Amino acid sequence: MTTKRLEILTTEWKRRLRLQDWETAVSFEPRDKINGDGQTLYNAQLKTAKISIITEETYQNPTGTQPYDPEEILVHELLHLPFAGIDKFKGLAYTQFEVAIDLIAMGLVKAKRGE
């Protein structure tokens, strides 16, 4: 996927998720530059966010059960924005929050694709 395609998807998903009031910048980054498959750094007061998506070359899935899907990662990261300021969980609560965001993102992308 190209950066231009990622930007188009970002615009589309911001509209779908009613996040048009957020100013977002998106980019692909290698694994050593971000934590996880995606990362969102935001300022909730200014409604600005920088979203980084892992590059396909550095994506790792040891079990092979989760293919590389930058759109799904993007939606996951965008879903953090409505929770900005209240998503400061620790430990098990953080893990549960991330799993919930992941399941919602997967469901939304699959619904868009008619799966």
pLDDT tens for residues 5-18? Answer: 999 999 999 999 99
Question: Does residue 111 register a pLDDT over 90?
Answer: yes
Q: Running DSSP on this structure, what letter comes out for residue 76?
A: H
Phi, psi of 40 (to 5 degrees): -125, 125
Q: Find the DSSP H helices in 23-90.
A: 70-79
pLDDT tens for residues 27-77? Answer: 999 999 998 899 999 999 999 999 999 999 999 887 777 889 999 999 999
pLDDT tens for residues 80-109? Answer: 999 887 767 777 777 888 899 999 999 999
pLDDT at 84: 86
Q: Find the DSSP H helices in the chain.
A: 3-16, 70-79, 91-112
pLDDT at 52: 97
Enumerate the β-bridge partners of residue 42: 49
Sketch out the chain's domains with CATH numbers: 3-112 (3.30.2010)
Give me the sign of the Cα torsion angle 26, 49, 67, 18: negative
Q: What count of other Cβ atoms lies within 10 Å of the Cβ of residue 28?
A: 18
pLDDT at 93: 78
> How far is residue 24 CA from its own chain's centroid?
12
pLDDT at 60: 87
**Residue 60, C-beta contacts closer than 8 angstroms, at least 6 positions apart:** 31
C-alpha 72/C-alpha 103 separation (Å) is 10
C-alpha 55/C-alpha 22 separation (Å) is 24
Residue 69: both structure tokens together = 């899907």
